[in-house]
Chains A and B, each alone.
Chain A
Amino acid sequence: MAANDRSVSPWLARVPERLDLWWPPLLVLAGIIAMAPLYAPVGLRPSPETVFAVQARTGVLEVQPACGRSLIWDLPAGRVLARDCDADDMEQCGGVRDTVTVTMAGGSTARIEMRADHRWGVTFGRLDGPVCSDAGDSPIRVTADYVELPADALGYFYVAEPASPDAPPPGFSLPLAGRVIVGQFVEFGGGWSGVQSATLSEGRVFGRDVAVGTGERLTLLDEELDPGSIVDTHPRLAGADKGGDEASDRVASGFVLSGPGDMLVQLSQRRSIAVTPYDGVPRRLEVPRWKVWWSSPLLQLVASIVGVFGGLLGLWIASQGGRIAYRQLRHPAEVPEAANHAPQPSTATWPEPNAGGSS
């Protein structure tokens, strides 16, 4: 009849019926969305298993041993100087030694730098303030030619001495442990002739984590370091304060090898590091957990399977809904349960012309 044609759309009228078919997947989707506030903070937090590897060529490097740990360096023959020595004749403050061994405790610092005379120099000093309770009065001890040098208020300076004036300076390979800073800023000139600032010349930072389920190592971050950048294994101390907690006992480890014109550095640090580009601000590098999850081959496989089956299920449900709707439209009497949900004839019908005759 024309009255049914003007009633509410049959498709809209069957929406509740279709929801009956769709409610299981909709319920799952709603549950996932409702739980998002619960797992999002976890997923956004940095992965504690991330290991950052730094490979760099640099002309300068600084290491600060962690509290409670000591770092021992065996250095080749060179000149050793007490930095607080006040003698006019510098030779009175130190001289050439065949063997030099330096023991550094927490609260000390050592800066290796290529100098203007193309020789390697190491400046040993102490950090300001009470850095470590176990540092004692002298966190740096130097043994030269098997004799321990007197303690110095400032520290010591060492420069490698070539075997002959024409020979290249002796090389070295030194272990690194604690806080390590690779590179430095180039300061403004001060009118000091012959003073130069060595910098980081090139390098890369890799962030690697262990894949969930399979245990394979994934490279989740690969960043190139611009010349003049600074890498600091302790972001909070570097001033990169963006979020993240940082245990004070975190220790970076690695080694440094001397080369013909610079040093090759290999470092390893967990959880986070800081990179400061030239003329930039320190930036904390981290890998969030969601990225680790997302990159896991096992989870990718599971997600793919779920996606495929979910898609197939959705298609099946859609097809079922279509079949039922088709049967309801064509053969309403054959679908008695559906008839219960069938729309009742609307009472809001238009008066038919001439219905009931004229009054």
Chain B
Amino acid sequence: MNRVVPLVMLVLLPAAVLAQASFTPVPAREYREYFNQPNPVKGEALVGVAIVPDPRAQRSNVLHIFFGEPYEGVLVLETATADGSFRGSGEFAGSVERAGWAQLLLGTDGESRPADPAALAVAARGTAPNELRVVHWGDEPAAEDDLVVRLYVNGRRGDMSVQAAGERFRCGRLDGQRLLRFDMVCDIPWSSIPEDGVVTLVRRDGFNVLPQQVRIAR
């Protein structure tokens, strides 16, 4: 009996993992990565949302996307570096039946990916417009309440802060001159994201103050 249990676990564990990977690449729109290619110009203040990653995990081909409620449809995944020299994009289709983390397999060689916790953004968009889902590079994280969510923001050289649940979080500027896609990262605790996911990005440039609401699905 003692020998049977580990064998059963060995069989059931991969099966459970496969069951979580309920999203599969959309044919002809699989995730691909590009280096030094012309970027499609996009106007968006919030370029990506992820749990603060470590560089090793960013080279992994496994991602986890958080769903606060059941979901069915297409998931668009995009990666981008701050300087615009690297980007990746692909679509996945599938569904989740309960709240939690769903696994995504990129299916590319991640070793050449320019891993940088501050300068490599990842965005997962569902069917709702202007809504980004929280991504975790690598294996499924533990308790959400201890996590810190990183927002990759294109502040266009202004002073940026995030207002969430009545709190103000200052953003940090990235190093480097060639910051085409985004230039700031804003770290906020998971617990500070309101239930509706709406947070306000505030851009200050001298005496000009510009707010912009974005939605983080959780």
Interface size class of B (residues with CB under 8 A): 20 to 34
**Residue B199 CB within 8 A of the other chain:** no
CA distance A214 to B179 in the complex (A): 46
Chain A, range 189-235, C-beta contacts under 8 Å to B: 189-195, 197, 230, 232
The answer to whether B179 and A191 have CB atoms under 8 Å apart is: no
Q: Select A195's contact among B39, B156, B175, B179, beta carbons within 8 Å.
A: B156
Chain A, range 157-214, C-beta contacts under 8 Å to B: 157, 159, 181, 184-195, 197
Residue of B nearest to A237 (CB): B177
B178 CB contacts on chain A under 8 angstroms: 185, 239, 276
B44 CB contacts on chain A under 8 angstroms: 188-191
Q: Select A190's contact among B156, B204, B206, beta carbons within 8 Å.
A: B156
The answer to whether A157 and B206 have CB atoms under 8 Å apart is: yes
Closest-CB distance, A124 to chain B (whole angstroms): 11
The answer to whether B168 and A188 have CB atoms under 8 Å apart is: no
Most B CB atoms within 10 A — which of A94, A189, A239?
Answer: A189
The answer to whether A86 and B168 have CB atoms under 8 Å apart is: yes
The answer to whether A190 and B207 have CB atoms under 8 Å apart is: no
Q: Select B43's contact among A81, A181, A190, beta carbons within 8 Å.
A: A190
**Residue B42 CB within 8 A of the other chain:** yes
The answer to whether A190 and B209 have CB atoms under 8 Å apart is: no
Residue of A nearest to B130 (CB): A191
Given contacts A188-B180, A230-B177, contact A193 B206 (CB under 8 A): no
A86 CB contacts on chain B under 8 angstroms: 168
Residue of B nearest to A85 (CB): B204
The answer to whether A192 and B204 have CB atoms under 8 Å apart is: no
* 10 tightest Cβ-Cβ pairs between the two chains A and B: A189-B43, A190-B154, A190-B45, A157-B206, A191-B45, A195-B156, A192-B210, A190-B156, A90-B207, A187-B156
User: A residues within 8 Å of B by Cβ?
Assistant: 79, 81, 83, 86, 90, 94, 115, 121, 123, 128, 154, 157, 159, 181, 184-195, 197, 230, 232, 238-239, 276
User: B residues within 8 Å of A by Cβ?
Assistant: 39, 41-45, 84, 153-159, 168, 173, 175-181, 183, 203-210, 212
29 A-B pairs within 8 Å (CB atoms) are namely: A83-B159, A86-B168, A94-B207, A123-B206, A128-B173, A128-B175, A154-B159, A157-B205, A157-B206, A184-B157, A184-B177, A185-B179, A185-B180, A187-B179, A187-B181, A188-B39, A188-B84, A189-B43, A189-B44, A190-B153, A190-B155, A190-B212, A192-B155, A192-B156, A194-B208, A195-B210, A197-B156, A230-B177, A276-B178
